[in-house]
Chains A and B, each alone.
Chain A
Amino acid sequence: MSDSYDQISQQLKGRHRKSTRLKYISMSALALAAAFLLIFFADMLSKGLPAFQQAMINIEINYTEDASTNGRAAVDRDFSTLISRSVVRVIPLQMRNDPSLLGTTQNRWVLADGSVDQYLKGNRVRLDDEEMARIDRLVEEGKVEMQFNSGFFSRGDSKMPELAGILSAVVGTVMTMIVTLAIAFPIGVMTAVYLEEFAPDNRLTQLVEININNLAAIPSILFGLLGLAIFINFFGVPRSSPLVGGMTLALMTLPVIIISTRTALRSVPESIRHAAFGVGCSRWQVVKDHVLPLAMPGIMTGSIIGLAQAMGETAPLIIVGMVAFIPDVTASFTEAATVMPAQVFTWAGEPDRAFVEKTAGGIIVLLAVLISLNAAAVLLRKKFERRW
């Protein structure tokens, strides 16, 4: 005697309730994750966006005889505490380079002091009432205003917050990544090709495989120690340089590239290899002409993601000395340099309140680069994914 339709529905009710419950639990998990992300972005943007604005002040510069030795003499004494020290500091040099300036007077927009900038952004600063009143008056007269902080992108680090920029860190990152890619990509891809297409399946290759998978899970700071011990102490690569940083990060990126390349190679259908062997290709021709072109999108995606991971890495670079105060843009691979996350780390440790927004601004730039890299990876995959 089978159950009637009503009885079956009765039993089913509990099961349906269960799946509904599970659905809502998973949805709330997602909502929680999204909320955290939202809070993170909102906080970061609210703290970091002011870094892209900078208070500028319009002053009269008198290129007098005195000013050629003491830059302070060129500006009104009332203003001298309000403008950046960097402005007055360069006046004698300017005059030496261009003697015709002597005796002239110019009205120029110059960098305001960090405290003025912070005051206008509504942060607590150590200014006395008189100075605050003077700033308010100047704002009303239109002699002080907020402008886009192009200097943030065109200058290196500085101890003066109004002067600190991220350019040297960006250049350092680019150079380090060039080294990382140049080392990790060819070695990683060729290793994966050997393991996947040439190596016999024996104890040794299995051991290598397990170790590569383990390497991907090793704390990154250990790679820094390895870099210090081998590259700097043994091979004598200059410390703090993009070369040693890139080599260290290459070690860290290698397993990621190897694993993703192997996955991409494995996803190439066996029938393509058979077809190629069938027309008389050698093993290398099979790989070069048929397997690698099909696997390339996957390899590129994996490599870009590995690179993005390396780009956000700080710990191993601390060990090889890449967290340093670098005011000038690095010109060679063997000079001291810093990278974006390390720059953020340095700014985060500055006591001056004005560096808080620099820190967040640096994070925004870093994230923007990382997100565009990941987007590029997705686009590449989408573009070449069609199997034809």
Chain B
Amino acid sequence: MNSQVPEMSEQQSPAVGQPYTRNDQACHDLSIRVRDLNLWYGKAQALNGLNIDLFQKNVTALIGPSGCGKSTFLRCLNRMNDLIPTVRIEGLVEMDGRDVNAPKMDEVALRRRVGMVFQKPNPFPKSIFENVAYAPRMHDIVSRKAEQEELVEKALRDAGLWNEVKDKLHEPGTSLSGGQQQRLCIARAIAVQPDVILMDEPTSALDPISTATIEDLMDKLKEKFTIITVTHNMQQAARVADYTAFFHLGEIIEYNDTKVMFSTPAQKKTEDYISGRYG
């Protein structure tokens, strides 16, 4: 996987795409398989031969210095990169055995199964109710008013927001605080009942208390969903993630059980990064 010799000589390099060390508590059913993924923005290569297996009902954290390609990689998983005209992608991203970049794959169908939460809370400029009910209604998951109400309540409960907003469902979503808005965005994502939720630095715009709430929420949500989160905050990765992948210059340097990675990293670069020597 990497030319560099692992620090811990007794440890064998793992199979392609597999973590160095298995996390015994985590589920190991395959959710997303990535092989030799390359991505260019125009002429600049941003992702360089990535191989990684992402497991179901886990939290996987992607860490690394700015510009290392972790957000770009995340957006490959629901084809949000399609929106950027200059992007060129090669390689395989496979979900449930199906290539997401195949011409037959509809990105709208893909995004129904792979939800996304963005860095800055971006609720629709509609009511709280509409924020959650819009997408399920659009996808014909629900149609009758009663079904919608039921689904909205469930999604908001799962996002831990119900008690705070149940009396003001028809107020604008943007009237909430930043942390509440982000939980509303999570409720919006889980309302369409996806398999995977991508989170692109979901707490970087939030205060510490809201951050803690979201982290607790991720812990609960992984019972139902596969969560892949990008974070700049290494403590956060250590707290919430089962597995962590360390990105550097468009490559995955190390993919490992989070506890092992933060105590005894397999690679020198990883150790340098998490001990704060650069990044």
Decide if B265 is an interface residue (CB 8 Å cutoff): no
A289 / chain B contacts, CB cutoff of 8 Å: 134, 138
**Cα separation A237 to B15 with both chains bound (whole Å):** 76
Decide if A96 is an interface residue (CB 8 Å cutoff): no
Decide if B268 is an interface residue (CB 8 Å cutoff): no
**CB<8 Å pairs between A and B, sample of 9:** A271-B122, A272-B122, A278-B117, A278-B189, A279-B115, A279-B138, A289-B134, A293-B125, A387-B174
- Quick one: which of A272, A279, A285, A294 contacts B188, CB cutoff 8 A? A279
Given A285-B138, A290-B124, A388-B175, A277 and B85 contact (CB-CB distance below 8 Å): no
CB–CB B135/A279 < 8 A: yes
- Quick one: which of B124, B175, B192 contacts A272, CB cutoff 8 A? B124
**Cα separation A279 to B118 with both chains bound (whole Å):** 11
**Cα separation A280 to B108 with both chains bound (whole Å):** 5
**Cα separation A236 to B153 with both chains bound (whole Å):** 62
Given A280-B135, A281-B108, A272 and B80 contact (CB-CB distance below 8 Å): no
Decide if A200 is an interface residue (CB 8 Å cutoff): yes
CB–CB A201/B85 < 8 A: yes
Given A282-B108, A388-B174, A388-B175, A276 and B83 contact (CB-CB distance below 8 Å): no
Given A201-B85, A271-B118, A274-B80, A279 and B189 contact (CB-CB distance below 8 Å): yes
Which size class do B's interface residues fall under? 20 to 34
Given A271-B120, A275-B118, A280 and B111 contact (CB-CB distance below 8 Å): yes
The number of inter-chain residue pairs (CB within 8 angstroms) is 64
- Closest chain A residue, CB of each to CB of B131: A275
Q: Mark A209-230, 1 if CB is under 8 A from B, else 0.
A: 0000000000000000000000
B168 / chain A contacts, CB cutoff of 8 Å: none
B192 / chain A contacts, CB cutoff of 8 Å: 279-280
- Extra contacts, 18 of them, besides A201-B85, A278-B115 (Cβ < 8 A), are A200-B85, A271-B120, A273-B83, A275-B124, A278-B117, A279-B134, A279-B192, A280-B111, A280-B112, A280-B139, A281-B108, A289-B134, A289-B138, A290-B124, A294-B125, A387-B125, A388-B125, A388-B175
Within 8 A of B (CB), among A306-348: none
Decide if B196 is an interface residue (CB 8 Å cutoff): no
**Cα separation A121 to B135 with both chains bound (whole Å):** 70
Decide if B185 is an interface residue (CB 8 Å cutoff): yes
- Closest chain A residue, CB of each to CB of B125: A388
CB–CB B83/A277 < 8 A: yes
- Quick one: which of A201, A276, A277, A285 contacts B124, CB cutoff 8 A? A276
- Quick one: which of B83, B85, B111, B125 contacts A279, CB cutoff 8 A? B111
**Cα separation A273 to B80 with both chains bound (whole Å):** 11
**Cα separation A293 to B124 with both chains bound (whole Å):** 11
Shortest Cβ gap from A194 to chain B (Å): 15
- Quick one: which of B111, B174, B189 contacts A277, CB cutoff 8 A? B111
- Quick one: which of A275, A290, A388 contacts B185, CB cutoff 8 A? A275
- Closest chain A residue, CB of each to CB of B188: A279
B135 / chain A contacts, CB cutoff of 8 Å: 279-281
CB–CB A281/B185 < 8 A: no
- Closest chain B residue, CB of each to CB of A281: B138
Q: Mark B93-129, 1 if CB is under 8 A from A, else 0.
A: 0000000000000001101100111101011110000
